[in-house]
């Protein structure tokens, strides 16, 4: 259908029925953003997100003279309206920024933190003495909620690099929340996947299941409560989130979730207090850095494991001449899978919150350590998994004696989250990944405030161990896999990219880089290509399309075994949902998003190329 036809169909449906917070009303007649174009080339700044309303918000800010940071905050706030099951002010994330003037990359760690009162056995059911079932009990709970970091991240980013006020950055999102957005297949299916969890809470049921019904595709969903919450923050700043009545309400919601009287879910309560919120800080920190085939690759340092694991994988791959193998794609993919497994072994052994654990970030991103770890990559055969972690205390780039392997790492990090990439006419770049953890977060909406709380603390190891770098501790940030990444060539941007997807974020970013740099794909093709994720497990998790295309060759030639992707929280079998911007010659940029995954993404530029 032509673009005009698609828009007309969506608007016609939108004029038929409108879903608001607990009521049905006629839709507003003004145009809503429904078209999704996965690529755009042009000048003056660009954006790539999963949602056209968010991309349009960023472009509007850029056209009015705002910079990439202003536009990123505007887009993120809008995603809190249109992608509420993946992101919002009830969650956290990581913000990576390239400053064109100084040619430096900086980051903000806005990861959620554990409350001061959390216990080491917080995930153990006192009635049975055993760990809560991960789903749906632990993920649908107050005990899984971390102190949100997203509001503090927006405020800190605007303070450091922005050119407009928080109030101005929130205006597009307030407009979208009030006039509503058109419900698509993804929003409806995600609501359906979470229906039992959402029905467990009166506040969530009232907002997302008005009248007990799922939102219809083509209807208009409004969130006046969230619009009012944004207005409060616009007037009073983020202090109004972390102190005062709203902070008290968040803490109360965590300690005594608004359970529906007929729910059968246990909903373990949390210990978060208003003081925990008042004490939260978004952290300025240096990025990780490696050099890969002449590109400077910058990522997110711990508490994220993204920068170290992507960086280590690239250091391992840099030992091999993959561009020379690009005509033998299965061989290149074999190297990618094996390098990822080696880096994931070190991720499990060493990475946690550096405020609590001595993380060997320098060693993990050292090319000499990568060269030594490459000794564990046999170009002809897949290693038996799990492989062992490397020795970060003693390495010299020569091949060591193989140590004993570690047990499989249990992956509890969920596939949801969202990502955006933004650039402006001055050459500044933002790569920002934000999340409320699994699709739908904890399932708990703060009553009357219009946003879901995260269940990010499920990223801690479920069972406490004093030797585990990702063990539960008060005030600690759980290990993340978010991997917002910026590549420079001669100190100027070449590529920025990131993705949602839990621990497959790392593999999505890594595989996209291998596709683009080593296999010579265009960035749209590198994003669209079928994906596989090897996270140091006996079988490789892969999209069905990847198995169909490469599975036979990778199994017969190298010994890889595969299992189809998919998770217990949704019907999706997709891995990741990447966004990217590549910087071309003559000041042009190419923004790229997913053509199909998660319903397709939305790429826009300020001035399209002719």
Catalytic residues: 417
Query: Within 10 Å of residue 325's Cβ, how many Cβ atoms?
Result: 18
User: Per DSSP, what are the bridge partners of residue 131?
Assistant: 124
Among all chains, which residue has been given the structure tokens 């000041």?
587
Residues 163, 397: Cα–Cα separation, whole Å: 46
The three-point CA angle 494-497-499 to 5° equals 170
579 contacts 48 by C-beta, under 8 angstroms? yes
Residues 380, 364: Cα–Cα separation, whole Å: 25
Residues 418, 437: Cα–Cα separation, whole Å: 10
354 contacts 302 by C-beta, under 8 angstroms? yes
Question: Which DSSP string corresponds to 435-466?
Answer: E-SSTTTTS-BPTTT--BPP-GGGGS-SS--T
Residues 208, 213: Cα–Cα separation, whole Å: 8
Closest alpha carbon to 386 in 348, 423, 427, 331: 348
118 contacts 139 by C-beta, under 8 angstroms? no
Residues 253, 101: Cα–Cα separation, whole Å: 44
- Helix-, strand-, coil-residue percentages of the chain, each rounded to 5: 35, 20, 45
Query: Within 10 Å of residue 309's Cβ, how many Cβ atoms?
Result: 32
Q: Which two tokens stand for residue 169?
A: 């950055």
- C-alpha of 309 from chain center: 15
Residues 96, 510: Cα–Cα separation, whole Å: 17
Backbone angles phi, psi at 299, to 5 degrees: -140, -170
């Amino acid at each position: 259908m032509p673009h005009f036809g698609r828009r007309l169909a969506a608007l016609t449906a939108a004029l038929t029925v409108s879903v608001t917070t607990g009521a049905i009303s006629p839709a507003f007649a003004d145009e809503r953003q429904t078209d999704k174009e996965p690529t755009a080339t042009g000048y003056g700044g660009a954006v790539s997100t999963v949602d056209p309303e968010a991309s349009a918000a960023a472009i509007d800010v850029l056209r009015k003279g705002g910079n990439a940071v202003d536009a990123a905050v505007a887009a993120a706030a809008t995603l809190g309206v249109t992608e509420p099951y993946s992101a919002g002010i009830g969650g956290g994330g990581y913000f990576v920024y390239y400053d064109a003037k100084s040619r430096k990359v900086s980051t903000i760690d806005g990861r959620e933190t554990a409350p001061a009162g959390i216990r080491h056995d917080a995930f153990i059911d006192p009635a049975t003495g055993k760990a809560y079932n991960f789903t749906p009990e632990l993920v649908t709970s107050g005990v899984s909620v971390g102190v949100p970091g997203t509001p503090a991240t927006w405020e800190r980013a605007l303070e450091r690099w922005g050119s407009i006020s928080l109030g101005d950055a929130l205006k597009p999102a307030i407009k979208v929340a009030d006039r509503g957005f058109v419900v698509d297949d993804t929003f409806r299916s995600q609501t359906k996947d979470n229906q039992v969890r959402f029905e467990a809470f009166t506040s969530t049921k009232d907002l997302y299941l008005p009248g007990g019904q799922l939102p219809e595709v083509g209807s208009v969903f409004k969130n006046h409560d969230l619009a009012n919450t944004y207005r409060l923050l616009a007037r009073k700043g983020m202090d109004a989130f972390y102190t005062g009545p709203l902070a008290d309400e968040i803490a109360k919601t965590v300690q005594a979730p608004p359970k529906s009287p007929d729910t059968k879910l246990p909903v373990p309560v949390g210990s978060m207090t208003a003081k925990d919120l008042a004490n939260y800080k978004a952290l300025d920190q240096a990025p990780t850095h490696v050099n890969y085939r002449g590109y400077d690759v910058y990522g997110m340092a711990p508490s994220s494991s993204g920068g170290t694991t992507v960086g280590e994988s690239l250091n391992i791959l840099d030992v091999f001449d993959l561009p020379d193998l690009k005509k033998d794609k299965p061989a290149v993919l074999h190297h990618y899978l094996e390098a990822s497994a080696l880096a994931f072994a070190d991720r499990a052994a060493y990475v946690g919150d550096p405020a609590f654990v001595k993380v060997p970030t320098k060693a993990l991103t050292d090319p000499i350590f990568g060269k030594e770890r490459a000794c564990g990559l046999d170009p002809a055969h897949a290693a038996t998994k799990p492989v062992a972690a490397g020795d970060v205390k003693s390495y010299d780039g020569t091949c060591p004696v193989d140590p004993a392997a570690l047990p499989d790492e249990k992956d509890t990090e969920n596939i949801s989250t969202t990502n955006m990439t933004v650039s402006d006419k001055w050459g500044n770049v933002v790569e920002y990944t934000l999340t409320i953890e699994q699709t739908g977060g904890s399932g708990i909406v703060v009553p009357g405030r219009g946003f879901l709380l995260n269940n990010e603390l499920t990223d801690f190891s479920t069972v406490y161990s004093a030797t585990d770098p990702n063990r539960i501790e008060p005030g600690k940030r759980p290990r993340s896999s978010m991997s917002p990444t910026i590549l420079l060539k001669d100190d100027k941007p070449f590529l920025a990219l990131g993705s949602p997807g839990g621990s497959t974020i790392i593999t999505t970013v890594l595989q996209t880089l291998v596709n683009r740099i080593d296999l010579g794909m265009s960035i749209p093709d590198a994003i669209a290509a079928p994906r596989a994720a090897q996270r140091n497990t006996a079988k490789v998790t892969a999209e069905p399309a990847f198995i169909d295309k490469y599975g036979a060759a990778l199994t017969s030639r190298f010994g890889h075994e595969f299992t189809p992707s998919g998770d217990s929280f949704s019907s999706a079998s997709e891995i990741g949902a990447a966004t990217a911007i590549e910087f071309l010659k003559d000041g042009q940029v190419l923004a790229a998003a997913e053509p199909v995954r998660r319903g397709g993404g939305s790429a826009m530029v300020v001035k399209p190329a002719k």
